[in-house]
């Protein structure tokens, strides 16, 4: 009765086990297989029971690892074998966890027992997790690579342009789109002459420091630096990232750039370098923006009349000035502080363009240039001097008599009958010539800002102002 009870218990245990169990006698014949094993192998009991192990499992070469695990338990002097192996059956390949060892009774080897678990879902989950980890690792590497590219190429082109190239499928496609933008063109006054007076190393140190400081301002107001134009800058607002506030951002950036010049010049003075003065022109309108060039060399750029106009406006500035177009003024909703205006007929335009000298922008920006507070000293006797108007950088042949009546270290008041207007450039006859720009006019009296002066005039000006 006891043996019958034990056999019944064993039968129930084998039947209810979730793991598959396979018993092979010493002759290699399968003597026992439970329902879980039959489900794993996808076969009926008669397909396995009483048949040779080799005949049942050697059909697929893919099952060599499974077979070897069982055989190794025979040839390894009784050591247990435990492996995770693939198992090929008719419909699919499983991942099995197999534990194989000798079956003993009273110290005698009766056969071999293999306990089998189907861990395919766990393996798939493990593979999925592993794949996810690999994907995350690739994403981290890609993020690092993109960060490296942005930092590297960002030294040569704007970060916004780099992101456009890296993040959009057509980032490198030649061609462009029409965009409403505001363009800034800036330039340093008398910088070419300054380059001839300085050694290369300090000159480049000064220039690079200037660019670094000004670029920080441009970036803060969402501008995209497209090019260095020698000592000048070509900046666009509203491309490649569109913005509804590009004109106001550009105006605020221009004022902040002029404000930053005080810090730049303080740095220059500490090192014994000359002070710098910058002029800025702003223009707003439609451009074609996109990749320009060839398949071998491409750059992101904007083209259109707006760019040309910004350059022309910059040419009318004196050091410290900002001149904006009417379109820029009209595109800004914030209150503006404008110091002077003038109607100019620009080449290529059919109508006169009204332009303005910008002093400040209110609203959320609340930025203002210092009010004109230049200290003038009246000359004991007006200094007679001839002047010639200029067109661009060309001195015209006409000559007019004039008199300097008041001077500061960088400006002067002049009386003349010459037909001058705000923003006109003139050349005063003094040895190599004094180049100046008209800031404002008051009935035959004109306020000038000097752009370039020979050393002898600078010394005369210092003595006249201090005397």
Residue pLDDT, tens place only, 27-40: 889 888 888 888 88
CATH code of the domain made up of 2-118: 3.30.450.20
Cα-based distances in Å from 354 to 320, 335, 454: 20, 18, 33
- The C-alpha atoms of residue 284 and residue 331 are separated, in whole angstroms, by 8
Pairwise CA distance, residues 223 & 241, whole Å: 9
Which is nearest to 197 in space by CA: 467, 454, 459, 461?
454
Residue with tokens 């670029």: 215
Return the higher-pLDDT residue of 21 and 110.
Answer: 21
Residue of higher predicted confidence among 233 and 454: 233
The CATH classification number of 377-466 equals: 2.40.10.220
- Dihedral angle of Cα 327, 330, 331, 335, to the nearest 10 degrees: 140
Residue written as token pair 């690999």: 134
Which of 96-105, 224-233, 327-336, 425-434 shows the lowest mean pLDDT across its residues? 96-105
CA angle 48, 53, 59 (to 5 degrees): 90
The share of the chain scoring above pLDDT 90, in percent, equals 32
> For 375-413, how does the pLDDT look when each residue is reduced to its tens digit (9 = 90+)?
788 888 999 999 999 987 889 999 999 999 998 888 899
Integer Cα distance of 151 and 139 in angstroms? 18
Higher pLDDT, 138 or 446: 446
d(CA 320, CA 278): 5
Mean local confidence (pLDDT), 14-27: 77
The pair of three-digit structure tokens given for residue 154, joined into one six-digit string: 């960002």
Domain range list for the chain: 2-118, 176-368, 377-466
Rounded CA separation 300/285 (Å): 18
pLDDT digits (tens, 9 = 90+) for 323-353: 999 999 999 999 999 987 888 767 666 677 8
- Residue 250: in which H helix or E strand, if any? helix 246-270
Residue 30: what are its φ and ψ, rounded to 5°?
-75, 120
CATH for 176-368? 3.30.70.1230
% pLDDT > 70, the chain: 81
| No. of helices (H) and no. of strands (E), the chain | 13, 21
pLDDT digits (tens, 9 = 90+) for 349-385: 667 788 999 999 999 999 999 876 567 888 889 999 9
Q: Which two tokens stand for residue 11?
A: 């039968």
How is residue 52 annotated by DSSP? Answer: B
Q: Which residues contact 94 (CB under 8 A, 6 or more apart)?
A: 40, 86, 87, 118, 120
Q: Comparing 111-115, 148-152, 431-435, which segment has the lowest mean pLDDT?
A: 148-152
CA distances from 329 to 36, 153, 332, 351, 401 (A): 83, 34, 6, 17, 37
Of the listed ranges 48-62, 135-149, 288-302, 306-320, the least confidently predicted one is 135-149
User: Is residue 156 over pLDDT 60?
Assistant: no
Residue 127 pLDDT: 61
More confident residue, 139 or 3: 139
Give the containing element (helix H, strand E) for 216. Answer: helix 200-220
CA-nearest of 397, 410, 332, 334 to 366 is: 334
What is the b/e burial string over 187-218, where b = at least 16 CB atoms within 10 angstroms of the residue's CB?
bbbbbeebeeeeeeeebeebbebbbeebbebb
Nearest Cα neighbor of 164 from 300, 318, 64 is 300
DSSP class of 454: -
Closest CA to 218 of 241, 205, 234: 234
For residue 170, what pLDDT is reported? 47
Using an 8 Å Cβ cutoff, are 437 and 423 in contact? yes
Cβ distance 187 to 312 under 8 Å?
Answer: no
Residue found by looking up tokens 């678990």 in the block? 117
What pLDDT does 322 receive?
A: 94
pLDDT value at 431 more than 90: no
Q: What's the whole-number average pLDDT of the chain? A: 82
Q: How far apart, in whole angstroms, are the C-alpha atoms of residue 232 and residue 254? A: 13
pLDDT value of position 78: 64
Does the pLDDT at position 429 exceed 80?
A: yes
Contact call for residues 421 and 438 (beta carbons, < 8 A): yes
Per-residue pLDDT, 261? 94
Asked whether 371 and 386 are in contact (CB, 8 A), the reply is no
DSSP β-bridge partners for residue 72: none
* Geometric angle at alpha carbon 159, from 158 and 161, rounded to 5°: 65
| pLDDT above 60 for 4 | no
Most confident of 7-11, 93-97, 234-238, 344-348: 234-238
Q: Is the pLDDT of residue 281 over 90?
A: yes
Asked whether residue 459 carries a pLDDT value surpassing 70, the answer given is yes
């Amino acid at each position: 009765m006891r043996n019958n009870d034990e056999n019944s218990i064993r039968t129930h245990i084998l039947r209810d086990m979730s793991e598959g169990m396979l018993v092979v006698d010493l002759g290699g014949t399968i003597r026992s297989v439970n329902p879980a094993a039959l489900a794993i192998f996808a076969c009926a009991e008669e397909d396995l029971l009483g048949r040779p192990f080799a005949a049942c499992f050697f059909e697929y070469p893919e099952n060599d690892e499974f077979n070897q695990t069982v055989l190794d338990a025979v040839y390894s002097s009784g050591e247990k074998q435990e492996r995770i192996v693939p198992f090929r059956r008719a419909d699919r390949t499983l991942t099995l966890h197999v534990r194989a060892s000798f079956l003993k009774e009273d110290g005698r080897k009766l056969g071999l027992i293999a306990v089998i678990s189907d861990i395919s879902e766990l393996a798939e989950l493990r593979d999925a997790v592993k794949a996810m980890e690999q994907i995350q690792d690739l994403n981290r590497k890609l993020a690092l690579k993109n960060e490296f590219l942005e930092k590297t190429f960002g030294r040569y082109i704007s970060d916004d342009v780099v992101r456009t190239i890296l993040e959009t499928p057509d980032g490198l496609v030649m061609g462009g789109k029409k965009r409403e933008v505001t363009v800034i063109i800036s330039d340093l006054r008398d910088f070419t002459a300054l380059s001839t007076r300085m050694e290369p190393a300090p000159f480049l140190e000064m220039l690079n420091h200037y660019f670094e400081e000004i670029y920080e301002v441009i970036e803060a107001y969402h501008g995209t630096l497209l090019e260095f134009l020698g000592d000048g800058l070509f900046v666009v607002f509203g491309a490649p990232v569109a913005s509804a506030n590009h004109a106001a951002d550009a105006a605020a950036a221009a004022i902040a750039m002029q404000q930053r010049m005080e810090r730049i010049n303080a740095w220059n003075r500490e090192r014994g370098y000359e002070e710098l003065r910058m002029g800025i022109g702003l223009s707003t309108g439609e451009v074609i923006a996109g990749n320009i060039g060839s398949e071998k060399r491409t750059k992101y750029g904007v083209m259109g009349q707006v760019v040309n106009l910004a350059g022309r406006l910059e040419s009318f500035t004196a050091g410290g000035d900002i001149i904006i177009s009417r379109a820029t003024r009209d595109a800004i909703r914030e209150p503006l502080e404008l110091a002077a205006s003038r109607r100019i007929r620009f080449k290529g335009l059919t109508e006169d363009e009204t332009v303005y000298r910008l002093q400040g922008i209110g609203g959320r920006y609340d930025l203002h240039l210092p009010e004109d507070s230049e200290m003038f000293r009246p000359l004991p006797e007006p200094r007679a001097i001839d002047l010639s108007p200029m067109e661009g950088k060309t001195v015209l042949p006409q000559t007019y008599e004039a008199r300097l009546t008041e001077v500061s270290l960088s400006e002067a008041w002049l009386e003349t009958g010459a037909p001058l207007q705000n923003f006109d450039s003139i050349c005063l006859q003094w040895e190599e010539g004094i180049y100046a720009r008209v800031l404002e006019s008051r009935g035959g009296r004109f306020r000038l800002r000097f752009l370039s002066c020979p050393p002898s005039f600078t010394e005369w000006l210092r003595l006249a102002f201090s005397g």
